[in-house]
Structure 1
Amino acid sequence: MGQGLERIIQESVPGKQITIAHVIASPAPDIYDRLGLERREAIGILTISPYEASIIAADVAAKAADVGIGFLDRFTGSVVLLGDVQSVETALRAVCDMMRGRMGFTVVETTRS
């Protein structure tokens, strides 16, 4: 054991954060097929911790704009939104604003491709 080897134990401790907030405008049709999602004009992606906050995010998004919830996983914090580009952007903005302002989350800038 004393050969200079070091043992490192890493532990993930999630904070209150949104680490991905992204809009895919005009996704390739294959993306919808692979994910088993209804084809729409745009896809919005959120990754949130703590993971249970994804439920809150989905509710805020659905109330803020005409978007559908394509996927919600309270065990990984993933939320996928479907709709037209403007609605998806509005929904992501509403989620980020509420989580940052009212819940004290650290939030990334929303991106678009």
Structure 2
Amino acid sequence: MTEKLTGQAAMQKVFSKAYKYAKNGKTRIVQIAVAGKEITLAHIIGVSDKSVYKNLGLDIGTNAGKDFTGSSIGIINITPPESTVIAADIAVKSADVFIGFLDRFSGTLILTGSRTEVRTSVDEIVKYFREDLKYKTCSVTER
């Protein structure tokens, strides 16, 4: 009968086998992550220093020349990463915000606008993903 191991015991068994069969006493371990359906970060940053906007690169590309001084920033991270396209659509339809950055490969979405508008947008995104798409979501944090 095969013993069923879970958690730490299972990992210990895997690693002990890896070390047992390692060549020259060296083992290479590769970690992978399997993307679930979740929002892992949803945070609002109040008005910040101009250097923050500049270092985030919010003043390049389609926003070249835009002055973000006085804007708040909303940052969201979603898996699978393609979901950021849906989140961006919800963002601009639910509040008066600008898409500062959207990366459908990493799952990052950065929004800018007034603090109230950014908060409304982020709340709507998290609500839609939690209630309609059944994603696991984190709380929206704010600073």
* TM-score relative to the length of structure 1: 0.92
CA distance in 1, matches of 2:100, 2:83: 17
Aligned residues: 113
Displacement, 1:8? 3.1
* Matched residue type, 1:72: L
Unaligned runs of 5+ in 2: 1-21, 59-66
User: Between Structure 1 and Structure 2, whose CA radius of gyration is higher?
Assistant: 2
Which amino acid is 1:21 matched to? A
Amino acid at match of 1:69: I
The one of 35, 38, 41 equivalent to 1:20 is 41
Give the match's secondary structure for 1:27. Answer: coil
1:20 CA drift (Å)? 0.6
Given residue 95 of structure 2, which amino acid in structure 1 is its aligned partner? A
Asked whether 1:57 is paired with 2:87, we answer yes
Q: Does 1:108 align with 2:138?
A: yes
Secondary structure at 2:132's aligned position in 1?
Answer: helix
What do you get for the CA RMSD once the two structures are aligned?
Answer: 1.5
Percent identical residues: 40
The residue matched to 1:58 in structure 2 has which SS?
A: helix
2:60 corresponds to 1:30:
no
SS of the aligned residue for 2:92 comes to helix
Q: CA deviation at 1:5?
A: 5.6
- For the residues of structure 1 that align with 2:71 and 2:100, how far apart are their CA atoms? 13
Q: Which structure: greater strand fraction?
A: 1
Kindly provide the CA deviation profile for residues 20-79 of structure 1, in whole angstroms up to 9, marking residues without a partner as x: 100000111101111232414200000000000000000001100000100000000000
CA distance in 2, matches of 1:10, 1:82: 34
Partner letter of residue 59 of structure 1? D
Structure 1 residue runs without a partner (length 5+): none
Return the offset for 1:11. 1.3
The partner residue of 1:9 within 27, 30, 36 is: 30
